[in-house]
């Protein structure tokens, strides 16, 4: 009988000790926010364009963490979908065409002589990339622009253009060697050369 009591007491003691430990740990090492959402947010392109139907990348990241489809981000395109699929261990889906298609990198450009200085685009820009004041000409800080085109719609005089970012020598890199080469047999090639 005493053995049973001792055993029960020992177990209860252990349970209390570990319970207290776990309770302490859950408070002391509490993780703020949803770590998965944070990780997803890191993979999203941060254009804050809202094309996914959520007001920004973070809300979409949180939605994905809660089970929203991963194929709603046109600026991220295929690469983002692949990365998200790898992170969440789900099947990569093709990009949902409903939310727009994958375009190249864009940057907003204000036709400055047409700008009337209404500040509407400044209020629309999610990353404060437009500089200007009321009744003063506005301009886009190109290096900060994410190309989300949220400033285009509010402009009352339609003086904002989305132009593709031009390729420069500084960010050029080689193309894949097998990108557009036909796989042919060496002897065929020799024959071709002889024929020509």
Partner 1 sequence: MRKLWHFHGGIHPEERKTCSNTHPIQPAGLPPRLIVPLQQHIGAPAKLLVSPGDKVLKGQKIGQAQGRISVCVHAPTSGTVTAIGLHPIPHPSGMLDTCVIIEPDGLEQWCPLTPCEDYATLTPAQLLERIREAGIAGMGGAGFPTEVKLHPPRYDKVNTLILNGVECEPYITADDRLMRERARDVVLGMEIMAYILTPGECIIGVEDNKPEAIAALKTAAKGTRIEIVTLPTKYPSGGEKQLVKILTGKEIPSGKIPADVGVMCQNVATATAVYQAITFGRPLISRITTLTGEHIAQPGNFDVLIGTPVNWLLAQVGHQSENTGRLIVGGPMMGFTLHDLTVPITKTTNCLLAASQRELPAPPPAQACIRCGMCEQACPAELLPQQLYWFAKAEEFAKAEHHNLFDCIECGACAFVCPSSIPLVQYYRVAKGKIRQLTQEQEKADHARERFENRQARMAREAEEKEARRRERAEAAAQAQVSKREQTTTEGSQDKSAQIQAALERVSAKKNPDNDVSRNTAVAAEASQPPPDLESLKKKLLRAQDKYDKMAAALEDAKQHNSDRVEALESATVSSREALAKIQAELAAHPEHKATNVATPPQGPDIEVLTQQLHKAEEKLQLMLATLDDAKANKPETVEKIERAIEKNRERVAAARQALSEARNLGNNETAQPPAVHSRNAVKESP
By the criterion CB under 8 A, which residues form the site for partner 1?
Answer: 41, 44-48, 56-58, 114, 116, 126-129, 144, 146, 167-169, 171-178, 181, 183-186, 189
- What is the closest distance, in whole angstroms, from the C-beta atom of residue 31 to partner 1 in the complex? 19
Residue among 38 and 96 whose Cβ is closer to partner 1:
38
CA dist 78 and 96 (Å) reads 11
Contact 146/49 with Cβ under 8 angstroms? Answer: yes
- What is the closest distance, in whole angstroms, from the C-beta atom of residue 135 to partner 1 in the complex? 9
Residue among 18 and 103 whose Cβ is closer to partner 1:
103
Contact 132/119 with Cβ under 8 angstroms? Answer: yes
Residue among 8 and 116 whose Cβ is closer to partner 1:
116
- What is the closest distance, in whole angstroms, from the C-beta atom of residue 13 to partner 1 in the complex? 47
Residue among 2 and 175 whose Cβ is closer to partner 1:
175
Q: How far is CA 145 from CA 16, 47, 116, 126, 128, in A?
A: 56, 8, 21, 9, 8
Residue among 20 and 42 whose Cβ is closer to partner 1:
42
- What is the closest distance, in whole angstroms, from the C-beta atom of residue 74 to partner 1 in the complex? 15
- What is the closest distance, in whole angstroms, from the C-beta atom of residue 66 to partner 1 in the complex? 20
CA dist 36 and 178 (Å) reads 37
Q: How far is CA 62 from CA 15, 44, 91, in A?
A: 36, 11, 19
Burial class (CB in 10 A: 0-12, 13-18, 19+), 190: exposed
């Amino acid at each position: 009988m005493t053995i049973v009591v001792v055993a029960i007491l020992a177990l209860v003691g252990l349970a209390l000790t570990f319970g207290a430990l776990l309770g302490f740990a859950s408070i002391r090492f509490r993780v703020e926010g949803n770590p998965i959402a944070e990780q997803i947010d890191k993979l999203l392109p941060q254009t804050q364009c809202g094309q996914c139907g959520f007001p920004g990348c973070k809300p979409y990241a949180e939605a994905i963490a809660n089970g929203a489809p991963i194929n709603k981000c046109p600026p991220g395109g295929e690469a983002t979908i692949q990365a998200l699929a790898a992170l969440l261990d789900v099947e990569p889906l093709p990009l949902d065409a409903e939310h727009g298609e994958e375009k190249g990198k864009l940057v907003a450009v204000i036709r400055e002589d047409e700008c009337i200085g209404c500040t509407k685009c400044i209020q629309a820009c999610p990353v404060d990339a437009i500089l200007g004041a009321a009744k003063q000409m506005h301009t886009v800080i190109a290096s900060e622009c994410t190309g989300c085109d949220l400033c285009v719609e509010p402009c009352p005089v339609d003086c904002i253009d989305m132009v593709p970012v031009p390729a420069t020598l500084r960010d050029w890199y080689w193309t894949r060697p097998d990108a557009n080469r036909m796989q042919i047999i060496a002897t065929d090639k020799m024959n071709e050369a002889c024929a020509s």
